[in-house]
């Protein structure tokens, strides 16, 4: 598989093309051979329980998937569909921006594996997971 190395600005431009990604308020902090780091800007719409004010787990799962996926996109230069995703929740995410870090576990010619973790701004681990992605080049 041919690899490309995209800059943080290039990745941010690509990721901003998706309306859902825009809605999440994603900002790329770092992209390098070690992985990717982004910030998701907290939104009131993420609240699942108004009395307890914690963030819906679907937002955390989406961040796991997006971050793992984009760690691969930063190396392939193109989208890589999710084949499988596993998410573990470690604690409730209270209101506030979220940090997501992802890295490639195995970069394959057809199937690749990447993992990601989501933290609050105090670096407390909220969720972690691993995804399997289709990295076969287009025909």
Q: What is the per-residue DSSP string for 28-73?
A: EEEEETTEEEEEE---GGGBS-TTT-PBPHHHHHHHHHHHHHHHHH
Extract the tokens encoding 13: 């431009």
CATH 3.60.20.10 fits 8-134, yes or no: no
Burial code (b: 16+ CB inside 10 Å, e: under 16) for 1-25 equals eeeeebebeebbebbeeeeebeebe
Structure tokens at 137: 């080049």
Q: Is the pLDDT of residue 1 over 80?
A: no
Contact predicate 36/74, CB 8 Å: yes
Residue pair 43/25 in contact by the 8 Å Cβ criterion: yes
Per-residue pLDDT band for 4 (boundaries 50, 70, 90) equals low
* 40-93 pLDDT tens trace: 999 999 999 999 999 999 999 999 999 999 999 888 888 899 999 999 999 999
Of the candidates 44, 88, 48, 85, the residue with the CA atom closest to the CA atom of residue 66? 85
Domain chopping of the chain, boundaries: 8-134
Q: What is the DSSP letter of 76?
A: H
Could you tell me what percent of the chain has a pLDDT over 70?
A: 97
State phi, psi for 106 to the nearest 5 degrees. Answer: -145, 120
């Amino acid at each position: 598989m041919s690899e490309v190395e995209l800059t943080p600005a290039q990745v941010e431009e690509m990721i901003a093309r998706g309306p859902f990604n825009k809605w999440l308020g994603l900002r790329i902090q770092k992209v390098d051979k070690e992985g990717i780091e982004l910030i998701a800007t907290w939104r009131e719409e993420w609240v699942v329980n108004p009395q307890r004010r914690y963030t819906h787990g679907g937002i955390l799962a989406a961040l796991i998937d997006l971050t793992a996926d984009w760690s691969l996109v930063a190396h392939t230069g193109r989208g890589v569909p999710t084949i499988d995703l596993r998410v573990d929740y470690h604690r409730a995410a209270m209101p506030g921006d979220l940090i997501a870090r992802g890295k490639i576990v195995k970069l394959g010619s057809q199937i690749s594996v990447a993992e990601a973790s989501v933290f609050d701004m105090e670096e407390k681990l909220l969720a972690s997971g691993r995804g399997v992605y289709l990295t076969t080049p287009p025909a």
